[in-house]
Amino acid sequence: MKKSSKIMMLQNHNKNQKKFPYEEQYHYDNSYQKPLGWAYGTFGMNDFSEHTKKNKRKMRKMDKQMAQEWLDSMENEDGSIGAHWSLEQTKQVASQKDIDCDPIEFWVAMNMMYSDYYLVAKKFNMNTPDFYVEMAKAFLDDKDVQDNKLENYFSYVVK
């Protein structure tokens, strides 16, 4: 097959592909971006302008209603559906372990860890509340991620 025929096939294939359903709805202006390492005329990765700060997307804080909707829809690895622990139970364990974080976020994170990692925890004999407490704490305290990790996870992974 000639090179031009391959190119035409690819062009036709791309025309026939369905667009991501939300592609038209979300458009982000990236015109302010500079090459890696350069920020508005000065060299430095951490030299952000006011323009960049203003254009940072705001994330809605996890509230009880959002959390409850998420938890109610969780399909757990043990075959159950919904939260494994109540908000009161996770508040109590956070208090006992001196964990200082938003109680609703901790509630969701602890249940999320149970939902996603139950089979792994069971396989390695780690299926204890303490294991899920530490996993939730590590998830929320991740230093490599910007603020609102749980909200971002909910918005971009779960939904």
3-state DSSP assignment of residue 87: helix
Task: Name the least confident of 1-15, 30-44, 94-108.
Answer: 30-44
pLDDT tens for 35-83 read 444 444 444 444 333 433 444 455 678 899 999 999 999 999 999 999 9
CB 80 within 8 A of CB 72: no
* Among candidate residues 105, 83, 106, the one with its CA nearest the CA of residue 93: 106
pLDDT tens for 73-90 read 999 999 999 999 999 999
| Strand ranges for the chain from DSSP E | 38-39, 42-43
d(CA 33, CA 130): 44
Q: Which residue has the tokens 């603020």?
A: 147
Residue type for 86, please? S
Rg (CA), the chain: 22
